[in-house]
Amino acid sequence: MAMRDDIESILLTEEQLQKRIREMGQEISRDYADRNPIFIGVLKGCFMFMADLVRNVDVPCSIDFMAVSSYGNSTTTTGAVKITKDLREDIEGRDVVIVEDILDSGVTLHYLTGFLQNRRPASITIATLLDKPARRKAEVYAKYAGFEVPDAFVVGYGLDYAEKYRNLPYIGILKPEIYTK
């Protein structure tokens, strides 16, 4: 069965994503001119957004990745965050931009920001592709946010449900019967 059959509706098309990500890259380039930022992607969900975002950044920068434990196969957060892959780069004195797929409860980014702050970077900002403000539990400020999305479970363009759908080139709303059956 085709993956498209599991999608209730397409929320953001490839064209909408690319247009907005280009704007975000330009904004970041203006803000970080002469600052040699380090982009830190939060795996695995960030991988497509990170690749497209940094291609639209035209200032010198470096790239690194971290991984944190998240939802398992459920669609709601457990509240516990664990670092499962740490950085390779030293971020002391660096201007850090955390790159995330979606800001939901905020628990992950709240934890991660505090964790990275302990390493004394010059600054930390957050670039998230999607923001689901209705679900916020922890206070987090995303300076760069691509799209506000409704309180529905979305997949595609890096975002998964039980490790599926990451390869969809668009963001879609998953049919609720997929995760309730």
**Is 53 or 159 the residue whose CB approaches ligand IMP more closely?**
159
Rounded CA separation 179/181 (Å): 6
Three-state SS at 152: coil
- How many distinct helices (H) and strands (E) make up the chain? 4, 9
Residue 90 and residue 88: Cα distance in Å, rounded? 7
What is the signed CA dihedral for 178, 77, 144, 57, rounded to 10 degrees?
A: -70
**What residues numbered 48-77 form the site for ligand IMP, per CB under 6 A?**
70-71, 77
Stretch that binds Mg ion, among 17-25, 62-70, 108-116, 173-181 (CB under 5 A): 62-70
Binder of ligand IMP out of 37, 41, 45, 156 (CB under 6 A): 45
Residue 101 sits in the site that holds ligand IMP (CB under 6 A): yes
Listed ranges 7-15, 22-30, 59-67, 94-102: which one lies at the site for ligand IMP (CB under 6 A): 94-102
Contact 20, 146 (CB under 8 A): yes
List 6, 52, 101, 104, catalytic entry: 104
* Residue 99 interacts with ligand IMP (CB under 6 A): yes or no: no
Give yes or no: 104 in active site: yes
